[in-house]
């Protein structure tokens, strides 16, 4: 197209993607292009500012790896990850929360009940839960992908002292949709502070770097929408200042002492040194989406 100027460049750029075959992809790309152009106009973006933005994105790419995504962290601290989670929520289903930058595919499959404590220091706890649909019907064909940080606040990807399968697993729920995971109590931790997301954005904005203590969990079941969420500790001091806006009231649980001897014996624990959090994870059917 000849004679591109301020009056027609946005339309020209948007229309240049009209041949994308997938309707949804075409809509997403064209809407993004239009929004980016409008943003640049609204703020009167300069060459120097745009080059700085590109340099920032290059820096995010440079520090990313197979086990760490700076772009996921960027999405998290901008609140976009949580926004998408909230947009995708369904009535009656457990709300989603951020995937985070430290999920790795291929966690080891363990029998249910699962035991993750191993040589880890920390307070022994049990996550005891049930997977069901929005009406409360158990989903015995559901599976779980679980991961958390160690007692020093670090995930295995950033701690060479931890084995790569530390405090993470996959498991199948039982015939009643139940699962048990013996682990250590998650602790609050700082988001990565060695990269551009912290240095150029979060720290510069004088924001907190702390995440409320949580465990990550992904629940999948055939015919149901995948649930990516987190389980939070009601006693954590950062619930109201989570750096990535991930806390939802429905995801906050309380660790309680137990004298359930059968439960404790399954995990080789004693009542005076083990805490239990009971959780229910409700999935919506995919036809609702």
Question: Which residues, other chains included, contact 66 with Cβ-Cβ below 8 Å and sequence gap of 6+?
Answer: 104
In the structure, what pLDDT confidence band is assigned to residue 258 with cuts at 50, 70 and 90? confident
Contact assessment for residue 35 and residue 28, using Cβ atoms and an 8 Å cutoff = no
For the chain, domains (ranges, CATH) are: 9-66 (no CATH), 72-288 (2.60.130.10)
Q: Is the dihedral of CA 152, 158, 163, 165 positive or negative?
A: positive
Burial (CB count <10 Å: 0-12, 13-18, 19+), residue 273:
exposed
Residues 40, 145: Cα–Cα separation, whole Å: 41
Considering the chain, what percentage of its residues have pLDDT values greater than 70?
98
Range with the poorest average pLDDT among 100-104, 117-121, 216-220: 100-104
Beta carbons within 10 angstroms of residue 282's beta carbon: 22
Q: Which of 50, 70, 46 is nearest to 199 (CA)?
A: 70
Mean pLDDT, range 243-255, rounded to an integer: 96
Q: DSSP character for 128?
A: E
Mean pLDDT, range 64-71, rounded to an integer: 84
State the Cα angle at 124 between 119 and 127, rounded to 5°: 115
Q: Where are the beta strands (DSSP E) in the chain?
A: 114-115, 124-133, 143-147, 168-172, 178-184, 189-190, 210-211, 214-220, 227-233, 252-253, 256-257, 275-283
pLDDT in tens, 3-46: 899 999 999 999 999 999 999 999 999 999 999 999 999 999 99
Beta carbons within 10 angstroms of residue 131's beta carbon: 29
Mean pLDDT, range 247-256, rounded to an integer: 96
Contact assessment for residue 188 and residue 150, using Cβ atoms and an 8 Å cutoff = no
Beta carbons within 10 angstroms of residue 173's beta carbon: 24
Whether pLDDT at 207 is above 80: yes
Q: Looking at residue 102, what is its pLDDT?
A: 85
Whether pLDDT at 289 is above 80: no
């Amino acid at each position: 197209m000849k004679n591109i100027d301020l009056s027609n460049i946005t339309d020209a750029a948007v229309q240049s993607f009209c041949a994308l075959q997938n309707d949804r992809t075409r809509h997403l790309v064209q809407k993004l292009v239009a929004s980016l152009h409008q943003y640049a106009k609204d703020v009167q973006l300069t060459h120097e500012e745009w080059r700085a933005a590109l340099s920032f994105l290059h820096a995010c790419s440079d520090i990313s790896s197979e086990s760490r995504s700076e772009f996921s962290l960027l999405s998290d601290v901008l609140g976009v990850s949580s926004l998408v989670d909230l947009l995708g929520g369904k009535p009656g289903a457990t709300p989603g929360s951020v995937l985070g930058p430290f999920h790795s595919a291929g966690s080891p499959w363990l029998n249910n009940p699962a035991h993750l404590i191993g040589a880890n220091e920390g307070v022994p706890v049990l996550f005891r839960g049930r997977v069901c649909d929005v009406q409360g019907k158990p989903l015995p064909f559901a599976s779980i992908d679980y991961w958390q940080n160690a007692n020093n606040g670090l995930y295995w990807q950033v701690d060479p002292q931890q084995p790569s399968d530390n405090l993470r697993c996959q498991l199948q729920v039982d015939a009643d949709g139940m699962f048990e995971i013996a682990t250590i109590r998650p602790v609050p931790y700082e988001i990565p502070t060695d990269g551009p997301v912290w240095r150029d954005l979060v720290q510069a904005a004088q924001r907190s770097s702390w995440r409320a203590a949580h465990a990550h969990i992904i629940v999948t079941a055939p015919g149901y929408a995948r649930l990516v969420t987190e389980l939070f500790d009601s006693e954590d001091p950062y619930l109201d200042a989570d750096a990535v806006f991930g806390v939802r009231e429905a995801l906050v649980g309380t660790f309680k002492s137990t004298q359930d001897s059968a439960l404790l014996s399954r995990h080789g624990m004693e009542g005076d040194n083990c805490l239990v959090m009971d959780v229910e994870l409700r999935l919506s059917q995919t036809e609702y989406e």
